[in-house]
Every structure is written in C-alpha cells, then in structure tokens.
Structure 1
Amino acid sequence: MDTSENPDGAGRGVARTNGEHEFETLDSTDVYVGNILALRADEVAMPGGARARREVVEHLGAVAVVALDEDDQVVLIHQYRYPLGRRLWELPAGLLDVAGEEPVRTAQRELVEEAGLAATNWSVLVDIATSPGFTDESVRVFLATGLSDVERPAAVGDEEADLVIHRVPLAEAVGMVLSGEIVNSPAVSGLLAAQEVHAGRAKPRPVDAAWRDRPSSFGSRAR
C-alpha cells in the first residue's frame, strides 16, 4: 500500500487518496472581519481521518485592465503599496466592492477613475487566484482597446491622490515583467497574456465568460 508523510507533522503515513478525498469543513470560526476582507479558521477533514486547521482570508475579489492604445502602448500606474513599503508598477484596478455590479462595469469605472480613459472594446485576458494557499482572492484581468480620454473624478481617495500614470510600449512593459521591475501579479499575468493576444497567438474571452473562482464568501457576509 502506498503511503505518504503526513503534511501536518503527525509522523505517520496515510493511504494515498489520489484526488478522491472530500475536504469537508467540520468547524469554522471568525478570527477577524474587516471592511474588505475577513480571516476565518476552519477545521478540515484530511485524508487518513486527521483534522487540520486552515486559516482562510476571504476577499471581495478585484479586476484589472490592460488598456492598450492604437500605438501599442499600455497604461501603467505607479502606486504606493504599504505592505511592501514601496511604489509598484501596476495596471488600473479596483475591488469588486459595489454589490450587483458586473466585473466589466467595475473595470470600466476604475479605468475612468484611475486613468481618465474609456474604451470601446472589452474582453477577458486571464483570471488569477492570487495566493490560493490561504486566500480566496481572485482577479479578472480585462483587455481594453479603442481608448479615448475622459475626465477623471475631481475627488479621489487618499492613495489615488498619489497615483502616477504612465504609458509605455507593450513590449517594454513585458520587458519590465521579465526583469523583475513589475511584480504585481495581475500586471504580470495580464501583460504576458496581452502580448500573446497582440501577437495573434491567443484569443481573449468575452466579458461575460464564466469566472469559476470569483469570490463570494465575504460579499455574502454583507448581504
């Protein structure tokens, strides 16, 4: 009988279940509930009959936009990120924090608010599970083309007041990803996907494509 080391440190082997085990939640406790996320601790049934504690960060989910103009330049945002203690190059993006709003509408609104742009053509590039080992956060990255300038809102939030907007050639932005200058995960994934679409090696999906991992737990709390 095949056995494997117990990942929870019990020091005993368990029979391999080969993808057939049901990881049932046996108990769940809220540790923290905030404005945009919650932390809960679950007791989960593991293969072999053991129980394991799994700490899960519930998140609203988010969208990001690769806005590509007619000169093949992409819009980047330079924004301070407090947890990392520095400014990062990112895509225009925002939380799915308006109840009932479709993700593409959120993306359109964020593109106006952060970059002062509207777009006539929208499609889906990629969906990203940002760190599935501990959070249900997922980000949908859209491709927006047919850009036009629009007025940005006069009033902005504290962080948005410090944003720097810059356009760079898509090829240069991809180079920034590969050199490690761009590390934000939606930006990394979105820019590489946009390069494949732009080169004709891939096709984007429609804006209403199924989003299997769109977060729902935290939003359900508010409802």
Structure 2
Amino acid sequence: MKSNFDLTLMLARIEDAIRPFPKAAMFELAERGYTSLFEQLISCIISIRTFDETTIPVSLRLFEIARTPQEILKLSPERLSELLFGSSYPEQKAYTMLGIARTAIEQYNGELPADFDKLTEMKGVGPKCANLALGVAAGQAAISVDIHVHRVVNRWGFIQASQPEKTLKALEAKVPVEQWIDINRLLMPFGKHICTGNLPKCSTCPVLEFCEQVGVTKHR
C-alpha cells in the first residue's frame, strides 16, 4: 500500500467518477422502492453469477407478481423459475427462494430477521448476500465483497487476500465502520466500469496515485 493512501479521499473521488454509470443493482432497486429485507435478499439471490443489467429487470418482473414471503409461496417451483428466466441457475434459485420464504413464515412470523447469523443459516444465503441485504435494507454497517470489490482493494495493495471471504475479514479489520456500506455502493460500479478485470482504465482513474496496480500488466 502506498504511503499516501487516503481511503476517504479515494471514495469521494470514486463517487464523482461513477456518476455517469448505473448504480449497483441492489442500490438501484432500493431507490425504486424495493427496500424490504426480503426483497433485497431475493434480489441478491437473483444477482448471483448474473449481470446487473439482467438482475434488475428479472427482479422487477418477479416483484410484479410476488414481493413477500406469502406471495412467493403461492408460486410453484416451475412458475418461479420461469419468472427468474435470464438469471443463471433459475431452478436452483427458485428452490432457494421458496426455502427462504418458508423459513420467514414458519420461524419469523413472515419477516426476515435483520441478523447476519440467522440469514446465513438459510440454505443458499452466503455472507455476500446477507451483508448486502442488511446494509441496504436495514442500514446495518456491513461489507459485501463481490468479485469487483475483491479485485479493486487487492489491486490497490490495500488488502492482500486470495479469496473474497478473506478480503471481507481484512476489510472489516481495516476500514472504519462508517465506510462499510460505501465500500459496496461505490466499489461495485467502480470495479465494473473503471477498475475492470481486463484492461482497467488506469489512464483516467481518479485514484491512480494511491494504487499499487497489483497484477496489472496491460491497461487503458
């Protein structure tokens, strides 16, 4: 990590740089009114191995039919997987969603608990989706590490971790709690559109002076 590394300044510059680009899917859906913990968790399940450009319309299509655990359980697995068409593994995701909805009703009176441990006990819910849903829907300080966040912070030299799970633990130890949600909100689109996996846009990057460019051999 460079000696002049200033995360607060970097996040401010990144926020300016990503304004022309679409928001990360969960944050975009929240702005459209889909703010419940259940809606956010379901949308995150849809987003797994699926581009935001697909996640948003698939989520909107589903929510036109069902937005609550009770409404989801009225759908057959086949009908639910049809509504999820376009996302990856729609059949598997349908069964995951039905399980989440059933747990919400049978164990929590139809409302998901705003609790990381209880969410990740549910089949198909990993740390990334639990943290992201809790951050967006419940306002809980939580970091969600997807492929973009993992790549960006390791490329900076800020974190040295081989897996997203290890990056998450390292970020939690180094980043002030008040910046945790901003890590998700800003670095996901930054990694998707500027600090890309192949040929990152280093020549126009707003935080190049702070970046070690770890692993970068070619750039734009």
TM-score by length of 1: 0.30
Largest Rg, 1 or 2:
1
**Larger helix percent:** 2
**Larger strand percent:** 1
Structure with higher RCO (Cα < 8 A, 6+ apart)? 2
TM-score by length of 2: 0.31
